[in-house]
Amino acid sequence: MLLLPESLTAREARDTLRLLRVALEREGGERLLVDAMPLQRFDSSALAVLLECRRLAQAWGKRFELRHPPTALLRLARLYGVEQLITG
Protein backbone atom coordinates (compact mmCIF):
# COMPACT_ATOMS: atom_id res chain seq x y z
CA MET A 1 0.00 0.00 0.00
CA LEU A 2 1.25 3.45 -0.90
CA LEU A 3 0.69 6.31 1.56
CA LEU A 4 0.04 9.83 0.40
CA PRO A 5 1.86 12.58 2.30
CA GLU A 6 0.20 15.01 4.68
CA SER A 7 0.49 17.79 2.11
CA LEU A 8 0.00 17.38 -1.63
CA THR A 9 -0.15 20.71 -3.42
CA ALA A 10 1.47 21.96 -6.62
CA ARG A 11 4.64 22.47 -4.60
CA GLU A 12 4.89 18.77 -3.61
CA ALA A 13 3.23 17.13 -6.61
CA ARG A 14 6.32 16.44 -8.73
CA ASP A 15 8.34 14.90 -5.89
CA THR A 16 5.35 12.95 -4.59
CA LEU A 17 4.64 11.50 -8.01
CA ARG A 18 8.28 10.51 -8.43
CA LEU A 19 8.25 8.70 -5.07
CA LEU A 20 4.93 7.02 -5.83
CA ARG A 21 6.26 5.80 -9.20
CA VAL A 22 9.25 4.17 -7.52
CA ALA A 23 6.99 2.58 -4.89
CA LEU A 24 4.56 1.41 -7.55
CA GLU A 25 7.32 -0.39 -9.40
CA ARG A 26 8.08 -2.32 -6.21
CA GLU A 27 4.45 -3.14 -5.40
CA GLY A 28 3.46 -6.71 -6.11
CA GLY A 29 -0.02 -8.05 -6.60
CA GLU A 30 -2.80 -7.26 -8.97
CA ARG A 31 -3.97 -4.01 -7.41
CA LEU A 32 -2.43 -0.76 -6.33
CA LEU A 33 -3.72 0.48 -2.98
CA VAL A 34 -3.21 4.15 -2.22
CA ASP A 35 -4.04 5.30 1.30
CA ALA A 36 -5.03 8.96 1.53
CA MET A 37 -5.56 8.97 5.30
CA PRO A 38 -2.50 11.17 6.02
CA LEU A 39 -3.63 13.77 3.45
CA GLN A 40 -4.64 17.03 5.14
CA ARG A 41 -3.55 19.84 2.81
CA PHE A 42 -4.06 19.52 -0.91
CA ASP A 43 -5.18 21.24 -4.07
CA SER A 44 -6.13 20.01 -7.53
CA SER A 45 -2.56 18.76 -7.97
CA ALA A 46 -3.48 15.87 -5.67
CA LEU A 47 -6.08 14.80 -8.22
CA ALA A 48 -3.49 14.94 -11.00
CA VAL A 49 -1.14 12.74 -8.97
CA LEU A 50 -3.90 10.23 -8.23
CA LEU A 51 -5.00 10.11 -11.85
CA GLU A 52 -1.41 9.49 -12.96
CA CYS A 53 -1.07 6.70 -10.37
CA ARG A 54 -4.27 5.18 -11.73
CA ARG A 55 -2.96 5.42 -15.28
CA LEU A 56 0.36 3.81 -14.34
CA ALA A 57 -1.38 1.03 -12.42
CA GLN A 58 -3.58 0.25 -15.40
CA ALA A 59 -0.59 0.30 -17.74
CA TRP A 60 0.98 -2.40 -15.55
CA GLY A 61 -2.25 -4.40 -15.46
CA LYS A 62 -3.15 -3.48 -11.90
CA ARG A 63 -6.43 -2.27 -10.45
CA PHE A 64 -6.23 1.14 -8.74
CA GLU A 65 -7.89 1.54 -5.35
CA LEU A 66 -7.96 4.67 -3.19
CA ARG A 67 -8.57 4.21 0.51
CA HIS A 68 -9.62 6.79 3.12
CA PRO A 69 -9.97 9.82 0.82
CA PRO A 70 -10.83 13.02 2.71
CA THR A 71 -14.35 14.27 2.05
CA ALA A 72 -12.97 17.54 0.68
CA LEU A 73 -10.86 15.61 -1.85
CA LEU A 74 -13.95 13.74 -3.03
CA ARG A 75 -15.83 17.04 -3.38
CA LEU A 76 -12.97 18.47 -5.42
CA ALA A 77 -12.92 15.35 -7.61
CA ARG A 78 -16.68 15.66 -8.13
CA LEU A 79 -16.25 19.32 -9.09
CA TYR A 80 -13.65 18.35 -11.73
CA GLY A 81 -15.73 15.40 -12.92
CA VAL A 82 -13.15 12.73 -11.98
CA GLU A 83 -14.68 11.25 -8.82
CA GLN A 84 -15.46 7.93 -10.52
CA LEU A 85 -11.90 7.70 -11.82
CA ILE A 86 -10.31 7.94 -8.39
CA THR A 87 -12.92 6.04 -6.39
CA GLY A 88 -13.45 3.13 -8.66
Share above pLDDT 90 across residues of the chain, in percent, rounded to a whole number: 78
pLDDT at residue 25 in the model: 83
Extents of the domains making up the chain: 2-87
* Buried residues in 31-60 as b, exposed as e (16+ CB within 10 A): ebbbebeebeebeebbbbbbbebbebbeee
Q: What is the pLDDT of residues 30-71, one digit of tens each?
A: 999 999 999 999 999 999 999 999 999 999 899 999 999 999
26 band by pLDDT with thresholds 50, 70 and 90: confident
**pTM, full prediction:** 0.92
Domain 2-87 has CATH 3.30.750.24: yes
pLDDT, residue 41, reads 97
35 backbone dihedrals φ, ψ, rounded to 5°:
-100, 120
Quick check: 38 and 71 in contact, CB under 8 A?
A: no
